């Protein structure tokens, strides 16, 4: 089971409104009941016609899985940030239910303030998605496919690329037997700061100060070409962004 | 007054051990008492010979300011991550007191779990720095100048470059009139996750999955050359790091 479906099922099973839920794996040839207590109460009742099918599958499985639902009268939604609503079969009721968060099985997710982006092609379906989203989170936005793609792209910078920078920092620490945990308060504060200051204003560091000596020293210290390239490019980008102020 | 000195003075003024403190500006031609209540009690007593001079000045001012202290018998420390202890005058008692955090005046700093890296050339001075550091934080490490430089370099990736990625994400959102606040829970969780999972393991996203279609779509969506370069380089770097697993 994927990470999103794991957390979605956990969250939805806590709501009062959704009575019966079943998990269908992406091959669609097995049915399995979830841990949802309400579904146990209704254990005998086969959920042949759910209100909503939520396809919490990987991006490249959406087309194949949704094809198997091309005759359903239920609403079918996927949970991807980067896939258009039009990837779903044309003649069904279709929508998107995109929780903007990174999910891993180990980590608990607080859905309460997690933005959920919804999209549907008619008012009734949108309303149904809004009700479901509101039962999970206080932050629900209607966002069309073309805008959602930008949001997903921004999320790649803010999450995937950021995590890779943490990884590089971890490697630099490891090369000197320095505990990576020393950086955790800094990482936490960097993320925390933008609650009150915009990242544009919060920028600090050698590139922001145009401190050429430190930049030179850092480049001489880095050991891999890739790290040097990343250091150079990001420093240039910062210098370019703030250049006129210097 | 710089950001580090502002927060250091706030933190130190709350300890019981440090009795008198004065702030000397980087031109060294003015003396000004701080808000420290203990210093007010001892208001008449001129602090001519402090135990420690803490030069919480910018990196490029360290040499010039410390030169003015070349005759002192007190311990002189700077607070920089990237400047060697040897930048201080050779014949004085010298050291380093480096709090590994990003400081801005607006944001309160919790010193309690903030790593403080100390360095000195003799045991007595190191002990004095350790006592001062312990009175502020539970996380005190002795780290020599050459290793501290690596730590500072790692911090540039984890803090300065990460913040720049937030800034790019903010720009992408702004280009579509999407509120940047939608990304905050994601940013917070990305930082939070590495409390329990190493960034190497936590990596997700199109580059990690080698999802060429999404990468292509993202590159076509980005509007500035710099953003495209950064997207491409970081994606390559992720693909390289996990390439063998794919």
Task: Look up the ipTM and state it.
Answer: 0.87
**pLDDT-based confidence at A163, cuts 50/70/90?**
very high
User: Closest to B234 (Cβ–Cβ): which among A161, A180, A199?
Assistant: A161
Three-state DSSP string of chain B: CCHHHHHHHHHHCCCCCCCCCEEECCCCCCEEECCCHHHHHCCCCCCCCCCEEEECCCHHHHHHHHHCCCCCCCEEEECCCCCCHHHCCCCCEEEEEEECCCCCCCCCCCHHHCCEEEEECCHHHHHHHHHHHHHHCCCEEECCHHHHHHHHHHHHHHHHHHHHHHHHHHHHHHHCCCCHHHHHHHHHHHHHHCCCCCHHHHCCCHHHHCCHHHHHHHHHHCCCHHHHHHHHHHHHHHHHHHHHHC
Name the residue facing B226 among A150, A203, A240 (closest C-beta): A240
Q: Would you say residue B23 has pLDDT above 70?
A: no
The model's confidence at residue A104, banded by pLDDT at 50, 70 and 90, is confident
- Checking if the pLDDT of A40 tops 50, the result is no
User: Lowest mean pLDDT: which of A48-52, B14-18, B139-143, B217-221?
Assistant: B14-18
The rounded mean pLDDT for chain B is: 86
pLDDT digits (tens, 9 = 90+) for B81-135: 999 999 999 999 999 999 999 887 777 888 899 999 999 999 999 999 999 999 9
Cα nearest neighbour of A99 on chain B: B186
Q: Per-residue pLDDT averaged across A93-119, rounded?
A: 89
B129-149: average pLDDT: 95
Residue B37 pLDDT > 50: no
% of chain A surpassing 70 pLDDT: 85
Residue A43 has pLDDT above 60, yes or no: no
Look at residue B139 in the predicted model and tell me its pLDDT.
96
pLDDT, position B24: 65
Picking from A149-153, A219-223, B23-27, B227-231, which range would have the lowest pLDDT averaged per residue?
A: B23-27
Least confident of A97-106, A113-122, A212-221, B160-169: A97-106
A186 chain-B contacts, CB cut-off 8 A: 100-102, 155, 158-159
Chain B CB contacts of A180 below 8 Å:
198
**Confidence check: pLDDT of B150 > 50:** yes
Mean pLDDT of A81-105: 92
- Model confidence, pTM: 0.87
B214 in A contact zone (CB under 8 Å): yes
Contacts of B82 in chain A (CB under 8 A): 206, 214, 217-218
Q: Is residue A28 left, alpha or beta, with left meaning phi > 0 and alpha meaning psi from -120 to 50? A: left
DSSP line for A144-166: -HHHHHHHHHHHIIIIIIHHHHH
pLDDT at B49 over 90: no
Give me the pLDDT at residue A105, please.
Answer: 74
Question: A219 and chain B: CB distance < 8 Å anywhere?
Answer: no
pLDDT at res. B3: 76
**Which among B165, B206, B235, B236 is the top mutation candidate for probing chain A, defined by the most A β-carbons within 10 Å of its own β-carbon?**
B165
Mean predicted confidence (pLDDT) in A89-110:
88
pLDDT > 50? residue A211 = yes
Q: How confident is the model at residue A39 (pLDDT cuts 50, 70, 90)?
A: very low
Q: What tens digit of pLDDT does each residue of A53-86 get? A: 999 888 888 999 999 999 999 999 999 999 999 9
The arithmetic mean of pLDDT across residues B220-235, rounded, is 97
The conformation of residue A16, written as its DSSP 8-state character, comes to S
Work out the pLDDT band at B48, boundaries 50, 70, 90.
Answer: low
More confident residue, A13 or A79: A79
pLDDT of the residue at A11: 79
What integer is the mean pLDDT of B184-189?
A: 95
Q: What sign does the dihedral A137-A141-A146-A148 (CA atoms) show?
A: negative
Task: Read off the pLDDT of each residue in A77-97 and give the average, rounded to a whole number.
Answer: 95
Q: Which has the minimum average pLDDT: A1-5, A138-142, B5-9, B20-24? A: B20-24
Distance of residue A40 Cα from the nearest chain B Cα, in angstroms: 32
Q: Quick one: pLDDT at residue A78?
A: 96
Res B136 pLDDT > 60: yes
């Amino acid at each position: 089971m994927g990470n999103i479906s794991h957390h979605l099922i956990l969250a939805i099973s806590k709501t009062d409104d959704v009575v019966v839920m079943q998990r269908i794996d992406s091959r669609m040839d097995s049915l399995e009941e979830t841990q949802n207590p309400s579904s146990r109460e209704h254990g005998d009742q086969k959920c042949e016609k759910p209100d909503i099918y939520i396809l919490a599958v990987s991006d490249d499985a959406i087309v194949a899985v949704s094809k198997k639902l091309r005759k359903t009268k239920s609403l079918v939604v996927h949970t991807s940030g980067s896939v258009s609503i039009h990837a779903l079969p044309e003649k069904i009721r279709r929508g998107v239910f995109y929780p903007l968060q990174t999910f891993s099985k180990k980590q608990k997710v607080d859905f309460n303030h997690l933005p959920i982006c919804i999209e549907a092609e008619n008012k009734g379906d949108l309303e149904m998605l809004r009700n479901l989203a509101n039962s999970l989170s206080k932050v629900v936005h209607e966002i069309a496919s073309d805008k959602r793609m930008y949001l997903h792209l921004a999320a790649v910078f803010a999450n995937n690329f950021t995590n890779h920078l943490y990884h590089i920092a971890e490697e630099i620490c490891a090369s000197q037997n320095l505990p990576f945990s020393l950086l955790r308060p800094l990482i936490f504060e960097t993320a925390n700061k933008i609650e009150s200051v915009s990242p544009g204003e919060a920028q600090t560091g050698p590139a922001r100060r145009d401190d050429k000596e430190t930049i030179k020293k850092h480049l001489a210290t880095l050991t891999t070409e890739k790290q040097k390239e990343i250091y150079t490019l990001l420093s240039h980008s910062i210098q370019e962004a703030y250049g006129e102020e210097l």
